[in-house]
Amino acid sequence: MKKDLETMLAGHPFCKDFKREQLRQLAGCAANARYETGRFLLRQGGGATRFFLIRRGLVRVELFMPGRGPVLIQTLGPGEALGWSWLVEPYRWAFSARAAEPTLALAFDGACLRRKLDRDSELGYRILKRFIAVLAARLDATRLQLMDIYGDRVPAA
Amino acid sequence: MATGSQPPEAHPLAPASYRVRARRRETRDTVTLELRAPGGAAAPSWRPGQFNMLGLPGVGEVPISISGGSQDGRLLQHTIRAVGPVTSALAGLRPGGRVGLRGPFGSAWPLEQAAGRDLLVLAGGLGLVPLRPVLRAVAARRRLYGRVSLLYGARAPQDILFRGELAAWRRAGVAVEVAVDRAQPSWRGRVGVVTDLLAGVAPEPGRTDAWICGPEIMMRFSVRELQRLGLDRGGMRLHLSLERNMKCAIGQCGHCQLGPFFICKDGPVFPYDRIAPWLAVEEL
């Protein structure tokens, strides 16, 4: 079972170039998870105890605004990572995420992983580098969306 | 793309009078005009990626990408977004109206070079327009290519162009993925930027041709993401379509100069390596 998880991890872009021992360490905190359409993976304000590597399906990230209801912020699909609040105190989700279609993911126990990262600084550095890349990409995406690049002057017309 | 007999070669600065045969609304502010050449003759032959100068007397003239044409070469399609006085007047034309047309001008997407390889097309907003003839050509001769993917970013679901054709290209074996910047909760598709969609494609640099068209900032971020995925290491062949202030369209007036290039004549489609140093220079 853990071997299967290691194989799945090795095939996920988030874990590209991880060493075999590092994959084994990660697999020790991971479990397969399946979410049917509409089911929440995490809920705004709740304890950020996990993070997810999406293998199949589509996840909607939403922010609940009083008077407006859930606002769709972004979607995440296969090959992407969901959730970083498990790394940042006070470990509370800032958003909600739910499956927009049947979704398969690897779900990680955040507390388990934090303990391992504290003990193994090489693994910790590697994971943090991957999460920084995820955060940088999200920041770039947010800036582009704020610029409304398709809303003004556009190519050849 | 057009075939058939050609009219006598006209002076490149002299527009011919085309008649609007049909007008189709694509989105709230974007229409596709189908234009017929004077006297029912064949329009000048063109290649995907090229543009024409469309003008109206007393209003002005603008460069508009060719978005399609008929098999017999008698009709040209131009997809126009009403963003300024000239494009608004053009987009307001009705069947029977007349428009001045010069062209075609500029370089084309290297379709022949892509045969046998994977083709990754990234389009942002109206950047899908000059790529539409590419996707039509590829869908019609799908077996000539390896994996073909279209990653298309739009502002909102209501701004998505060529919806019917996106579905047709999917049926023809093109992996079409669309992301919008913002959407109502009822939207069932992707929300995010076009580069987010690359995670689902995993291009193989050594066998991929990547072609990008959209706002320059979108192209810059797309190139950066492709570099992260191994573009520089693996020999991915990358082309971009640029836009500047094209006026004469024949490399004489200098309005569209970018470093040593005139976008109208040397472009708009460039190999990335050729244009990269100039894209990084501010104010050019």
pLDDT (tens digit per residue) in A100-118: 999 999 999 999 999 999 9
**Separation in Å, CA of A117 to nearest CA in chain B:** 25
Buried b (16+ CB within 10 A) or exposed e, B28-56: eebbbbbbbbeeebbbbebbbbbbbbbbb
Contact A157 B79 (CB under 8 A): yes
Task: Look at chain B and report how many structural domains it folds into.
Answer: 2
**Separation in Å, CA of A116 to nearest CA in chain B:** 27
**What pLDDT score does B42 carry?**
86
**What pLDDT score does B4 carry?**
47
- Same domain? For B142 and B48 the reply is no
Q: Which of B248, B235, B191 is nearest to B209 (CA)?
A: B235
Contacts with B252 (C-beta within 8 Å, 6 or more apart), sequence order: none
The pTM assigned to this predicted structure is 0.89
CA angle B124, A103, A146 (to 5 degrees): 30
Q: Which of A98, A3, A113 is nearest to A54 (CA)?
A: A98
Compare all CA atoms of chain A with the CA of B179 and give the residue at the minimum distance.
A75
Contact B241 A155 (CB under 8 A): yes
Residue B90 lies in a domain: yes
Contact B81 A157 (CB under 8 A): yes
**What pLDDT score does B256 carry?**
84
> Is the CB of B199 inside 8 Å of chain A's CB atoms?
yes
- Same domain? For B127 and B79 the reply is no
Asked if B130 and B268 touch (Cβ cutoff 8 Å), the reply is: yes
Choose the closest CB to B188 out of A79, A100, A151: A100
**What pLDDT score does A108 carry?**
96
**What pLDDT score does B205 carry?**
83
The pLDDT > 70 percentage for chain A reads 94
Residues in B touching A79 (Cβ below 8 Å): 199-200, 202
**Separation in Å, CA of B221 to nearest CA in chain A:** 8
Buried b (16+ CB within 10 A) or exposed e, B110-145: bbeebeebbbbbbbbbbbbbbbbbbbbbbbeeeebb
Compare all CA atoms of chain B with the CA of A70 and give the residue at the minimum distance.
B185
**What pLDDT score does B232 carry?**
65
**What are the φ/ψ torsions at residue B269 (nearest 5 degrees)?**
-90, 125
Mean pLDDT confidence for A63-81: 91
**What pLDDT score does A153 carry?**
53
Could you read off the pLDDT of B91-108 as tens digits, one per residue?
A: 999 999 999 999 899 999
From B105, B140, B156, give the residue that closes a domain. B105
Place of tokens 């992301």: B179
**What pLDDT score does A157 carry?**
46
Q: Is the pLDDT of residue A58 over 70?
A: yes
Concatenated DSSP letters of B55-83:
EETTTEEEEEEEEEE-TTS-EEEEEEE--
From B105, B132, B166, give the residue that closes a domain. B105
Q: Which stretches of chain B drop beneath a pLDDT of 70?
A: 1-9, 232-235, 283-284
CATH of residue B63: 2.40.30.10
Residues in B touching A60 (Cβ below 8 Å): 191
- Chain A contacts to B (CB-CB under 8 A): 13, 58, 60, 62, 69-80, 100, 137, 140-141, 144-145, 147-157
- Same domain? For B115 and B226 the reply is yes
Q: Which of B255, B218, B220, B283 is nearest to B63 (CA)?
A: B255
- Same domain? For B23 and B67 the reply is yes
Kindly indicate the confidence band of residue A155, based on its pLDDT and cuts at 50, 70 and 90.
Answer: very low
CA B177 to chain centre: 17
Domains and CATH numbers, chain A: 2-144 (2.60.120.10)
Residues in A touching B63 (Cβ below 8 Å): 156-157
What domain range includes position B25? 16-105
Where does residue A67 rank: exposed (0-12), middle (13-18), buried (19+ CB within 10 A)? exposed
Contacts 24+ apart (CB under 8 A), B275-282: B275/B240, B275/B242, B279/B216, B279/B220
From B241, B259, B278, give the residue that closes a domain. B241
Complex ipTM tops 0.90 = no
Interstrand relation of A81-82 and A69-76 (parallel, antiparallel or unpaired)? unpaired
First to last CA, chain B: 33
Q: Is the pLDDT of residue A154 over 80?
A: no
